[in-house]
């Protein structure tokens, strides 16, 4: 189903879009990290330089094989991240349900994506959501 369907008809997505920007909403970047060669991706946001955030994540979680897939600068990073997460949940993508074997943390921003949902699909979704958020706000 096209992404715009979820923007129009899903209550959780509409709720995020209807909420005003907070005073904490600043520019930053949306990034994706892939765990090894799996279909597990972390989709997060940061206001700091991406390389700093990536190094911090690698220090906190010693799991092998994190690769930086995408780093997209945007005006409203937190709102964009919230919307991407809501869209993925509405599309039936599962968050990581169990704590990490290596660090014990339950990574809330990690999603198990189906094999057909490749890097290009994630890139397209991030660019689409960024453009919607920046158009609306």
Check residues 7 and 83 and name the one with the higher pLDDT. Answer: 83
Of 9, 36, 13, which Cα lies nearest the Cα of 88?
13
CA distance 106 to 94: 13
Q: How many domains are contained in the chain?
A: 1
What average pLDDT score do residues 55-79 get? 87
Percent of the chain residues topping a pLDDT of 70: 93
Q: Which residues pair with 41 in a beta bridge?
A: 34, 111
Check residues 5 and 94 and name the one with the higher pLDDT. Answer: 94
Of 69, 70, 102, 108, which Cα lies nearest the Cα of 88?
108
pTM for the whole structure: 0.87
CB atoms inside a 10 Å sphere around CB 103: 13
- Give the confidence band of 86 by pLDDT, cuts at 50, 70, 90: very high
Question: Is the pLDDT confidence value at 119 over 80?
Answer: no
Percent of the chain residues topping a pLDDT of 90: 27
Range of the domain at 104: 3-136
What average pLDDT score do residues 10-16 get? 87
Across the chain, what does the average pLDDT equal?
A: 85
Question: Is the pLDDT confidence value at 19 over 70?
Answer: yes
């Amino acid at each position: 189903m096209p992404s715009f369907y979820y923007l129009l008809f899903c209550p959780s997505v509409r709720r995020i879009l209807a909420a005003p920007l907070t005073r904490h909403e600043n520019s930053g970047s949306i990034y994706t990290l892939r765990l090894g060669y799996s279909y597990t991706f972390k989709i997060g946001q940061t206001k700091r330089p991406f390389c700093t955030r990536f190094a911090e994540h690698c220090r906190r979680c010693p799991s092998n094989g994190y690769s930086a897939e995408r780093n997209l600068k945007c005006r409203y990073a937190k709102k964009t991240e919230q919307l991407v997460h809501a869209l993925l949940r509405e599309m039936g993508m599962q968050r990581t349900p169990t704590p990490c074997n290596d660090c014990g943390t339950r990574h809330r921003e990690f999603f198990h994506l189906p094999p057909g949902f490749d890097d290009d699909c994630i890139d397209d979704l991030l660019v689409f959501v960024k453009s919607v958020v920046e158009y609306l706000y």
